[in-house]
Chains A and B, each alone.
Chain A
Amino acid sequence: MSLRGPLIAWQFGELVELVHETPRVSSLYFNIPMWPGHLAGQHVDVRLTAEDGYQAERSYSIASPPEARWVALTVERLDDGEVSPYLVGELKVGDKVELRGPIGGHFVWRAGDDRPLLLVAGGSGVVPLMAMLRHRATAPHKAPARLLYSSRALADIIYREEIDRLVAASDGLLVSHTLTREKPAGWSGYTRRIDAAMVKEVAWPKAQTPAVFVCGPTPFVETAADLLVGLEYDPLWIKTERFGATGGPGGG
């Protein structure tokens, strides 16, 4: 019997604040007493245990930056999901949830990385990228950053007002939205699925050797990564996190 415990132990976090982001998406702010701190881009695993002992476990990206007081998860409710309908719908402030983290070391970004930053998000894939942008906003020296964010409709854009505020700070962040299922009156963004022309307009020229993070449903991530390689980006510049058909890393 080893005396070494698991690398990442399960513990309980208490929900201290609940913010409705869109009709299907909420941000859950947890107070986790033994939280060791995290990096932008990491995730947590959440585990629910039924009365009969059945357990369901899912991964959710951390939305809050390392500097924040609480650990925020932004969760999209999947009607046929085992965990997300509980987190978004039933969980109340004061309730406790079993979780472990922070998890992952590959899909992370540190504000000290001064390469131009390119973030490409499909739907709730924006969550870990938002942790990066929030982290960047607190940094004294800010790498230039661009976010290409694909949503179905205007009402589905997560963090829309906060993203507008980050852009308004004029500190080197550019955000391009695209809507795939709606063309609202007065909309100045793209209104189509991500394609080569869009990526070419938004992405940094390859000569600038950017750091790239792509997150979203698997088909979106595959398309975006292929388009970036088509711009002759080195595949090693591109870090991806696939959510599967939908949901968080590993399916929601």
Chain B
Amino acid sequence: MQTSEMKLDGNAIAGLLGEIFAVEMTTAHGTCASCGAVNEVGRVDVYVHAPGTVVRCPSCEQVLMRIVRQPGRGRYWLDLSGVRCLEFAEG
């Protein structure tokens, strides 16, 4: 199976983001630290077949976020270094 067929979008991590953030995040807007493109989180590229979840910019394909959840231990690792800014509405 080609990697492109594994591509999902931000809708697929709405539940995971709901575990971390206090408000619905697929309607948030993220600014890519690499190219500066602003995309709604629902529109970003998501790959869930890695050990963690990898979120890429749909404009330049650079990594926006990496999210690892360790089942059973209730522990998360959230790498947001590819996101310059997240803008979202009050919940």
The 8 Å CB contact of B14, one of A6, A55, A103, A222, is A103
Q: What separation, in Å, do the CA atoms of A55 and B74 have in the docked complex?
A: 13
Q: What separation, in Å, do the CA atoms of A217 and B1 have in the docked complex?
A: 13
Interface residues of B (CB under 8 A from A): 1, 4-15, 18-19, 21-24, 26-27, 40-43, 48, 71-72, 91
Q: What separation, in Å, do the CA atoms of A43 and B18 have in the docked complex?
A: 13
Question: Number of contacts between A and B (CB, 8 Å)?
Answer: 87
**A104 interface residue, CB < 8 Å from B?**
yes
The 8 Å CB contact of B7, one of A43, A57, A105, A218, is A218
**A144 interface residue, CB < 8 Å from B?**
no
Contact B27 A105 (CB under 8 A): yes
- Provide the residues of chain A in CB contact with B26, threshold 8 Å: 104-107
Contact A6 B19 (CB under 8 A): yes
- Provide the residues of chain A in CB contact with B22, threshold 8 Å: 4, 7
Q: What separation, in Å, do the CA atoms of A59 and B91 have in the docked complex?
A: 23
- Provide the residues of chain B in CB contact with A8, threshold 8 Å: 15, 18-19
**A250 interface residue, CB < 8 Å from B?**
yes
Q: What separation, in Å, do the CA atoms of A49 and B12 have in the docked complex?
A: 20
The 8 Å CB contact of B18, one of A55, A103, A243, A245, is A103
Within 8 A of B (CB), among A198-221: 217-219
- Provide the residues of chain A in CB contact with B48, threshold 8 Å: 250-251
**A240 interface residue, CB < 8 Å from B?**
yes
Question: Max chain B CB contacts within 10 Å: which of A239, A241, A244?
Answer: A244
- Provide the residues of chain B in CB contact with A36, threshold 8 Å: none
Smallest CB–CB gap between A56 and chain B, Å?
10
A239-B42 contact, Cβ under 8 Å, with A104-B26, A218-B6, A222-B4: yes
